[in-house]
Amino acid sequence: MSKSNSIKLAFPAEAATKDYAASLDSSDSLAAFRDKFIVPSKANIASKKLAKPGLSSEPCIYFCGNSLGIQPKPTARYLEAQLDTWSSIGVGGHFTDLEDSPLKQWQLLSEQAAESMSKIVGAKAEEVAAMGTLTTNLHLLLASFYKPTETKHKILMDWKAFPSDHYAIESHIAWHNLDPKESMVLIGPDEGEYEISTQKIFSYIDKHADDAALILLPGIQYYTGQLFDIQRITKYAHSRNVMVGWDLAHAFANAELKLHDWNVDFAAWCTYKYGNAGPGAMGGLFVHEKHGEVDYSAGEDAPKFRHRLTGWYGGDRSVRFKMDNKFKPIPGAGGFQISNPSAIDLACLCAALSVFDETSMADLRRKSVSLTAYLEFLLLKDTEEESRPFRIITPVDPEARGAQLSLLLKPGLLQNVAHRLQEAGIVCDKREPGVVRVAPVPLYNTFSEVWTFAKIFKDALSE
């Protein structure tokens, strides 16, 4: 999101060759990270039989990290350590740090994950909690941050929000005996367009400043791949006295984020997409430190804190086992935790985060911008817009998108193109009626894979 990243990369004419793509790979400072992942083989993705990873088989081209990231190699070691802890010392795993284990004691595992995630989202460690799943966390955050009054009751949201977000917001409005038709405001693009301008969002904030209680937007729009200007939108909404939350499902581990510095009120994300923590993996949430304060000025037995749906695990560890039913919340996002989190899920999450601990989002983002720009260059080269059988509906500005490009095909083309990509061992996502979502991930994808995809995709369109 930094202005220094706003680069429109230019490529020479010879960039359309396979050799040029290989030269980009040879100079890639992050190339070694690919070896930290298990890339599914072409043989395995075509098989219906459970199989071990085909280490000697030709790998597929996996451009579906925007839906589910592939498995990091540390996952097996972290899971084995967790299972060995459980089998060897049982309940003692909650309180014992074992030598040679990559994991902290179970009671501290969520903090281990939160510390790593805080670097990915640009937050203080105490502003992040590893817990729950995306929609569950959104429900918990909305229960705390959506406080409608007779005059301020509306929630502003994206016109094409992921269904789960739409359902969550609708249910909270109804929970307060309000009508979603009156209290849910959808912000959409101009007619015939897909990108929602920041100015248009500002205009909706202005229009509803007196009756909006909250604005909840995706950091990156799942369908179009648009990256919203989180910093400016948050600042503008606050200037109009509107609370701001963000669904970072597609932005976590994809875009550079500075949630603390940008003064974001709250955010939630999943970790199984660009975070590579596994299907249905444990999610995360952010609560700005100003909302996580615990005030003991009225006495130790009368803490004052932001209302939330409380649970035992959100209580301070120093008194958690007193079992006196006097809730003393952990300061920060940790106080929003509900239940004892799954150590198995946390082991998978910590394994994935251990890979991110070896690099930075700035470096990953730099490569991602180049990968996606190269994909865009190859797709558009030697084709005229008027005759092109597809349209890139993702913003052209690298600062306004993440890794993903969404390709809108002309009617009737999707099924054949999807079939050809599958035959070639290319895994990407299709969305009816005509969109192919392609996401080259900087941790494990290569420029040569981008070149191969572009060739096969364009060949399929010409059949």
Establish whether 261 is an annotated binding residue.
no
Kindly indicate the confidence band of residue 51, based on its pLDDT and cuts at 50, 70 and 90: confident
Confidence at residue 360, expressed as pLDDT on a 0 to 100 scale: 97
**Per-residue model confidence (pLDDT) at position 349:** 98
In a domain, 457, yes or no: yes
Tokens of 279: 């299907």
Question: Which residue, of 324, 354, 384, is where some domain finishes?
Answer: 354
Question: Is 269 among the annotated ligand-binding positions?
Answer: no
- The answer to the question of whether 17 is labelled as a binding residue is no
pLDDT score of 29: 97
pLDDT at 41 over 90: yes
User: Do 130 and 214 have their domain in common?
Assistant: yes
Question: In the prediction, which pLDDT does 17 show?
Answer: 96
Query: Considering the domain boundaries, does residue 101 fall inside one?
Result: no
- What confidence score (pLDDT) does residue 462 get? 86
Q: d(Cα 51, Cα 38) in Å, to the nearest integer? A: 13
High-pLDDT (> 70) share of the chain, % = 98
Q: Where in the sequence is the domain holding 426, given as residue range(s)?
A: 18-66+362-461
Q: Is 78 annotated as a binding residue?
A: no
Same domain, 374 and 293: no
Co-location of 367 and 339 in the same domain = no
Tell whether 325 and 385 lie within a shared domain: no
Q: Which residue has the higher pLDDT, 451 or 384?
A: 451
Is residue 19 a known part of a binding site? no
373 and 294 both lie in a single domain: no
Average pLDDT, the chain: 94
Tell me: is residue 272 an annotated ligand-binding position.
Answer: yes
Eight-state DSSP code of residue 64: B
State phi, psi for 260 to the nearest 5 degrees: -65, -50
Could you identify the residue written with the tokens 């406080």?
Answer: 147
Per the CB < 8 A criterion, the answer to whether 138 and 248 are in contact is no
Instruction: Mark whether 315 and 195 lie in a shared domain.
Output: yes
Residues 231 and 373 grouped into a single domain: no
Q: What is the CATH number of the domain that holds 403?
A: 3.90.1150.10
* Element spanning 166, H or E: helix 163-175
Is the pLDDT at 54 greater than 70? The verdict is no
Kindly tell me if the per-residue pLDDT of 333 is higher than 90. Answer: yes
Nearest to 10 by CA among 412, 305, 357, 398: 398
pLDDT at 4: 38
Q: Any known ligand binding at 452?
A: no
If you average pLDDT over residues 389-411, what whole number do you get?
96
Mean pLDDT, range 278-306, rounded to an integer = 96
Q: Does 231 share its domain with 290?
A: yes
Query: Does the residue 9 lie in any domain?
Result: no
The helix (run of H) or strand (run of E) holding residue 309 is none
Mean pLDDT, residues 64-74 taken together:
98
Residue 322 lies in a domain: yes
Higher pLDDT, 320 or 40: 40
Q: Using an 8 Å Cβ cutoff, are 125 and 116 in contact?
A: no
pLDDT at 65 over 70: yes
CATH of the domain at 204: 3.40.640.10
The last residue of one of the domains, among 308, 332, 354, is 354
Judged against a pLDDT cut of 80, whether residue 207 lies above it is answered with yes
Cis peptide before 329 (omega within 30 of 0): no
Task: Examine the domain organization and report whether 336 and 452 are in the same domain.
Answer: no
**How many C-beta atoms lie closer than 10 Å to residue 314's C-beta?**
23
Structure tokens at 433: 């009626």
Please report which confidence band the pLDDT of residue 2 belongs to, taking 50, 70 and 90 as the band edges. very low
Domain count, the chain: 2
Q: Is 254 annotated as a binding residue?
A: no
Domain C-terminal end among 308, 333, 354: 354
Measured at the CA of 178, the angle between CA 175 and CA 184, to 5 degrees, comes to 100
pLDDT digits (tens, 9 = 90+) for 103-156: 999 999 999 999 999 999 999 999 999 999 999 999 999 999 999 999 999 999
Q: Are residues 259 and 324 in the same domain?
A: yes
Question: If we measure between CA atoms, which residue out of 213, 239, 220 comes closest to residue 154?
Answer: 213
Task: Let me know whether 330 and 452 are in one domain.
Answer: no
User: Does the residue 410 lie in any domain?
Assistant: yes
Q: pTM of the entire structure? A: 0.95
Residue 73 placed within a domain: no
Predicted pLDDT of residue 55:
57
162 is in an annotated binding site: yes
pLDDT higher than 70, residue 56? no
- The answer to the question of whether 247 is labelled as a binding residue is yes
163 is in an annotated binding site: yes
Residue 162 shares a structural domain with residue 33: no
Mean pLDDT, residues 348-352 taken together: 98
